Every structure is written in C-alpha cells, then in structure tokens.
Chain A
Amino acid sequence: MTSTPTTTTTTSPKAPKAPAAPTARKTIRRQMSLPVVLLLVAAGLVLFSAVRVVTGAHDLTSDGQAAAALQLAVPVGLAGLGGLWAERAGVVNIGLEGMMILGTWCGAWAGYQWGPWVGVLVGVLGGALGGLTHAVVTVTFGVNHIISGVAINILAGGATQYLSRLAFDGVQGGTPVQSPNIDPLPRWTVPHLADWLTDINREHWFLVSDLAGLCGGLVRDISALTVIAVTLVPLSFLVLWRTPFGLRLRSCGEAPVAAESLGVNVYLYKYIGVITSGALAGLGGVFLAEVTADFYREGQTSGRGYIGLAAMIFGNWRPGGLAMGAGLFGFTDSLRLRNNDNVRALLLLLAVLLVLLALWQLYRRSYLAASFSVVFGAGSAVWYVLSDEVPAEFIQAAPYLTTLLVLAFSSQRLRMPKADGIPYRRGEGT
C-alpha cells in the first residue's frame, strides 16, 4: 500500500527526456533556499520597475495596485491553505469551492443579523461543516475523494440557493439571491507611514517608488480579516511543520499505514485536517462576503476555490509557496481589473522574461525550447510596439494566461504527499 503508483502523474512528462544527472539533482534540490528566493524577488522588482519606467504605466506598482492584489489574493490564499491542510492529511479536497460558498452564505446570514464578527465565526463553522461532510464521506466511507468533492460543490451551490430564498427573500434589503447588507469590519491604516509611502510612490523614482508602492498597499486601509488571513499562513507552517501534531498529520498524508503502526489515530488526524480545511475555505468565503462586498450574492465565489487549489499545487503543497501562488494570481487579476495600460505593459514584461528564459534554456542546451521562447518573446515585443491598446478579451484572459505560463514553467518538480487521494482503511496495510 505504501508504494507510489499515483505520484507518477504529477512528475513532469519531460523528466525521462532529460539526462540522468540533472534529474537526480532535481530530486535532491526540492526547495530553493531563502537567499535564492529573495534574490529572485529582488530581480523581479527591478524588472518591474524598469518596465514601468519604460512604458509609463505607473499604476503597475502603485499602492492601490498592491492593495487590490492583496485583497484579491486573500480568498484564493485561504482556499489554498484549506487545500493544504486536507491534502497534507492525504485527502484531496476539490470541494473547496463548495465550502467557500457555504462560508459566504453562512457568514452573510449571521453577519447581517448579529454583526460582522459573529458572521466570521458562523461562516467558518459553515465551511467546517462542509469539511466534516467531506471527511465522513471520504475517510469513514472511503468514497473517491474527487466524487465526494464534486458532490459537495453541487450540494453547496444548490443548498445555498434554496436557503437564500427562505432566509433573505422578503427581508429588508434582501432578495432571493442576495443577502441584506452586513456592517463593515474594522479597517486600519498605519498613520504617517502610509501617507509617506504614498508620497514616495507618486514621485515615480526608479525602484524606490516601486518598493514604496508595494509596501504602501500593505499598510493602508487594511481589514482586520486580512490581517488574520495573512497570519494564518505562517501559523499553518508552524503547526504543520514544527509540532508533533503536524508531523503526525503529515505522516497520514505520506504513509498512513506506517503512521498507524506507530500508534497514530489516522482517522482522527484526517478528520482534523479536512475539517480545518473546510473552516479555512469558509473563512475565504466570509472574506468575499464581508470585505470585498458587504453582502452574500449567488455565484459570488466564481471559481476561486479551484484557483486556490491550483495555487496550492503551484506552491508545491507548502504554505510559503501557496502564498506566492495566491499573490501572483491576485496581482495579475488586479492588473486586469484596474487599468488597461497595465496589461499592455505586461506584454513588454512578458517579452523580457521570455528572452531571459531563452538565454537560460540555451545555457542548458535545450535549443528547441529556447527557440520557442525567442519566437513568443519577439511576438509579444512586436505586439507591444505596434499596438496602443490591447483588446478587452486579451485583458480579461491575461491573469489566467500568466498563471498558466508560470505554472507550466515552475511545476516541473512538484511533489505531492505520497498517499494523497489514496483511500485508507484501518488495519488493511500489511
């Protein structure tokens, strides 16, 4: 049972083609060290700054942009964090979207009646209830995880639709598809610092203003729920990687039979993992209902649960990585929504990145890949030069395209938990 038949699906199809030595090195070097990550971030910032100066699209790194990116990233990140807890315990959770829907509905239902903080609590409970359902079906009854997850998505959508009609129709300010308004949660701005950073950002200095803009977005008009959501990322890391509890939970996702032989109650840990997963996704839903809007609205989640799952896979089933994935998605999404010039500037950025990639590929002697990169890079450069405006359809697709590209290039050495998605029965491992 502890063999690895399913992990092959996630390793890159290119792996066999590559020479043996790099493959071996790849598996050893699973994670980038902190200095390398910081260096990459710094290089990215310089590149962005340069593109901003060249194109004059100053909104690219403004504080408003950073704030919008953060606000769009939080629900995705919370869903991803939810996915992390479930999958580290060995349960695939495609039902995140449904649990998020339960979070939006329950949060708004309690929120408009008894205040926003009660809404947060009830939304989290609603999500946890979805998680509990998933746990009962997958862990206790051993149903295929995907089937159960899809069922939860359908069930959550249908149930909230039905309940909205009962709970919100006829209430002052409510309709059959929308809840009455919820009072806002507290928001904070760091005094002086925020204004100071905004002033620097307005100067449009190379690099300095960009840095100020990105930091400025993080200290201005921040919702209490955003602070909580951001703290949950390092907290999850500490709990899952630095405590005996986390080790046991992760062992259930890697080798449940071995964990069982050492006296770990695998069922219990899987239950905890999946219920926490639902609670986190529910919190993401509450964020949508209470911070981005101030009401529940049918279809409000619009697929963010799935994107959260993708962010988690992008992040190699680790909290830091999934936060980066969510940040990337939030950033490209806000680029798309805010200003059409942003996306045009993105074309230039894409061209530069592809050329850099081509150089790297040449260095690695993969000539075919390099020529592809050069062609696409040249293509987007030409497009940038020749056009004043990019079509709306392209603007709308940009975040998804960017995410797809980044995923395609970065997902070559992902490793999911070994027993993720494999049904486990107590006492069956021999």
Chain B
Amino acid sequence: MRQVTKLAAVTIAGALALTATACGGSSSDDSGSKDKGIGLAFDVGGRGDNSFNDASYAGMEKAMKEFDIKGKALTPRDGESEDDKVQRLTQLAKEGYNPVIGVGAVYSKSVKKVADQFPKTSFAVVDASDNTGDNIANLVFTEEQSSFLVGMAAALETKTGKVGFIGGVKMPLIEKFEAGYRQGVEYAKPGTKVLVKYLASPPNYSKGFGDPAEGANAAKGQLDSGADVIYSAAGASGDGAIKTISQAKNKWAIGVDQDQYNQKSLAAYKNVILTSATKNCSGAVYDFIKSVVEDKKPMTGVHEFSLKDDGVGFSVSNPDFAAKKETVTKIEAAKEKIISGELKVNDKP
C-alpha cells in the first residue's frame, strides 16, 4: 500500500510540475542586470489570441527593437485567481522589469496593489481606468466610437432590418461596445432592431472569450431570428460566430479589435467580414514604453486613445465593403463629426 501512495504522490507531483512549467512560459530571454527591460502580463488567452494580447505584444516587440532593450511576457492560466495576477506582476517588478504592463481590465486591481509596493517602477494597465495612481498609466480606448461606426455600417447594409451584437462577457468594457453599436445603428437607420446576446458573466472569462462553440450557437440563433449583420466583441468566441455566419447566405459579420479581414486564421471566411472595429493596442503600449524608456517621463493617469489619434477606427480592407461608396462616405462623415465633438457617443447602454 505504501508503494501505491508513493506512486500517487509522484504522479501528482509530475503533473503539477508539468503544468507549472507550461504556465510560466516566457517569450523572451532575460539578462542578469538590475534594469531588465519591459515586463508584460497577458490577459486570458495570452499571446496568440489574434486580438488585443497579440496587438499589445506587437507594441512591446517594436519598442524592444527600437530602444534595444529586453523584455519578458507572461501568460496566465485559465480561471486563475486574483492572487495569481498579483503574484505575476510582483514577480516582474521584483525581478527588475520596468515598465510593467498588465494587458486587460482584469489587471485593474492587481496593478494598483503591486504599484503601491514598487513606487519606483512604472506600471500600465490596458483597458481599465478605475484604479489610478502616481506610477500607473491607464491606457483606455473609446471603443464606443468605433462601435458606433460599425453600427452604422450594419444598419446601412442590413436587408432584414435586424442586426445582431454578441458580447463575450457582460462587463462594463464590453457594454461600451454594445452602447456605441446601438447608437450607431439608431443614428444611421432609426428603427432597426438590435438583438443582443452576452455569452457569459464575470468571472467566467474563458467561456465568454475563449469558447468558439458559444459564439457559433449565439450567431446561429440570431441568424435564425432574422439578423443579417452580426458584430461580435467576444475574442476567440467570435471566431466561431464568423464561421457560422460564413455558412449562411448573404450575411455579414463585423470583426473586432484588429482588422479581422486580414487575420490569417480567418482567411477562409474573410469574404463575409464586412468591416472591423479596430483598436490600436500596439500603438498605446508602444507610446507608454517610449515615455518610460526614451523620454524618461513616464505616462501616468488616464490616457484615452480615440478616433482623433487613430486609437480606434473601422477598416475598409474588404473590397466588397470599399465598393459600397455611399455607406463608407456616410460613416466617414459621422467619424468627422465625432472627432469635432459635434456628435457625442455614450459609453453606457
């Protein structure tokens, strides 16, 4: 019996060790010096999400190349706790990384906690502005503006008078997308019906943003209810929605965060991607790193990236969409109005 217990212990230990190594993977090497360069912690999904994690990493890579510094990026585990996040950031700060960046609203609280302990390190959190501090930069985007513009595209291109919205997780960040989208639809063609579906609620982020089956079924449901243009702000779950939409006839999908028409993993379905509500995470992260490393004057407080500075926008890479001159002109006009302040977009539904 004792042998058996021992074996069980060994098996478990082995399993845990393997998981641990798999979790703590880093994307870049690190040197031994005190100032090690950029530390970055990914949101759920990590590098390879084809979305804002990848975009943030691109900004970091660009800075690493340009300023000739090193860096380390850590990916979280699915369903981890708040303590894990605090520990990840603490680890980066303790090892001497400066600046330290938390990608995603999930890092809002933990960045605050860790920043108080390391006053000499500059921190940034992407997508959250509810916890500020002297050494924290909050990099936020006016997603409601880009969502407004793609909402207009949806309303102008629908034939059934019904458009869909699929949100990954029901939280303020995604509700911003919904709010902008609804207003854009109403602005372009009043009376158009918007079907809204949220896949999950916090803290169930992996189901909301990482389960293509969820997105696929939600999209099928909206198609069957008569929607013919569907905007999904749901990370990889949205990939499932786009696949489903591509199997129906004469329906459009709207992408999110990056220009999904040019996304390689969606190449087979790109014809149905009308446009995408883009968000320049890469530029924001790069700007922040530059302020710390090059200008020696770290950004702090809330920095909003909006239509004005191309922090957000909409894409016209699909030639079928570019050919719809009238629609594109109308959207461009509204864009100018938003930039000039003539048209206000609410960030709450």
Contacts and interface: CB of A to CB of B under 8 A. Distances in A.
A176 B46 contact: yes
Contact of B217 (A68, A147, A152, A177): A68
Given A165-B25, A393-B201, A64 B212 contact: no
Contacts of A421: none
Contact of A298 (B12, B78, B170, B240): B78
A338 B219 CA distance: 7
Interface in B183-234: 195-201, 204, 206-207, 210-214, 216-218, 220-225
Contacts of A64: 220-221, 223-224
Interface in A144-195: 144, 147-148, 151-152, 154-155, 157-159, 161-162, 165, 168-169, 172-178, 180-181
A294 interface: yes
B198 A392 contact: yes
A176 B23 CA distance: 12
Contacts of B221: 59, 64, 68, 334, 337-339
B236 A340 contact: no
B225 A177 contact: no
Contact of B46 (A177, A288, A294, A295): A177
Contacts of B14: 155
A55 interface: no
Given A337-B218, A338-B218, A393-B170, A154 B201 contact: no
Contacts of B45: 177, 298
A154 B217 contact: no
Contact of B18 (A62, A147, A158): A158
B224 A59 contact: yes
A326 B19 CA distance: 30
A148 B210 CA distance: 27
Interface in B232-284: 236, 239-240, 243, 264-265, 267-268
B22 interface: yes
Contact of B19 (A68, A155, A174, A292): A155
B21 interface: yes
Given A293-B216, A393-B201, A175 B268 contact: no
A335 to B, nearest CB: 9
A299 B210 contact: yes
A151 B22 contact: no
Contacts of A245: none
Contacts of A393: 170, 201
Interface stretch (B47-55, B108-116, B155-163): B47-55
B223 to A, nearest CB: 8
B339 interface: no
Contacts of B225: 59, 338-339
A154 B23 CA distance: 12
Contacts of B4: 141-143
A380 to B, nearest CB: 21
A162 B22 contact: yes
A302 interface: yes
Interface residues of A, number: 55
Nearest to B50: A175
A300 B268 contact: no
Contacts of A338: 217-218, 220-222, 224-225
Interface in A292-326: 292-295, 297-300, 302
B69 interface: no
Task: Tell me what chain B mostly uses at the interface: helix, strand, loop, or mixed.
Answer: helix
Contacts of A143: 4, 7-8, 11
A371 interface: no
Contacts of B19: 154-155, 157-158, 161
A252 interface: no
Nearest to B45: A177
A11 interface: no
B333 interface: no
Contacts of B170: 392-393
A302 B201 contact: no
Contacts of B75: 176
B48 A178 contact: yes
A137 interface: yes
A72 interface: yes
A71 interface: yes
A337 to B, nearest CB: 4
A304 to B, nearest CB: 9
A155 B15 CA distance: 5
Interface string A53-79: 000000100101101100110000000
A396 interface: yes
B217 A180 contact: no
Contacts of B196: 340
Nearest to B225: A339
B16 interface: yes
Contacts of A337: 197, 199, 214, 217-218, 221
A293 B23 contact: no
B18 A155 contact: yes
Interface in B1-58: 3-4, 7-8, 11-12, 14-16, 18-23, 25, 45-50, 54
A175 B50 CA distance: 8
A68 B22 contact: no
Given A337-B197, A337-B214, A151 B12 contact: yes
Contacts of A137: 7-8, 11
A396 B200 contact: yes
Interface in A228-254: none
Interface string A72-113: 100000000000000000000000000000000000000000
Contacts of B25: 162, 165
A154 B211 contact: no
A146 B7 CA distance: 14
A402 B284 CA distance: 45
Given A169-B48, A297-B236, A334-B217, A396 B198 contact: yes
Pick the 6 closest A-B CB pairs, nearest first: A175-B48, A338-B221, A158-B19, A293-B212, A64-B224, A292-B213
Interface of A: 59, 62, 64-65, 67-68, 71-72, 137, 141-144, 147-148, 151-152, 154-155, 157-159, 161-162, 165, 168-169, 172-178, 180-181, 288, 292-295, 297-300, 302, 333-334, 337-340, 392-393, 396
28 contacts: A62-B224, A64-B220, A64-B221, A67-B220, A72-B213, A143-B4, A158-B15, A162-B18, A169-B48, A173-B265, A175-B265, A176-B46, A176-B48, A177-B49, A181-B267, A293-B212, A293-B239, A295-B212, A295-B265, A297-B236, A299-B206, A300-B210, A300-B213, A337-B217, A337-B221, A338-B220, A392-B201, A396-B201
Given A64-B223, A147-B8, A337-B221, 19 more contacts: A68-B220, A71-B213, A137-B7, A142-B4, A154-B15, A155-B18, A157-B78, A158-B23, A162-B18, A162-B22, A173-B265, A175-B48, A293-B212, A293-B240, A295-B212, A298-B78, A333-B217, A337-B214, A339-B221
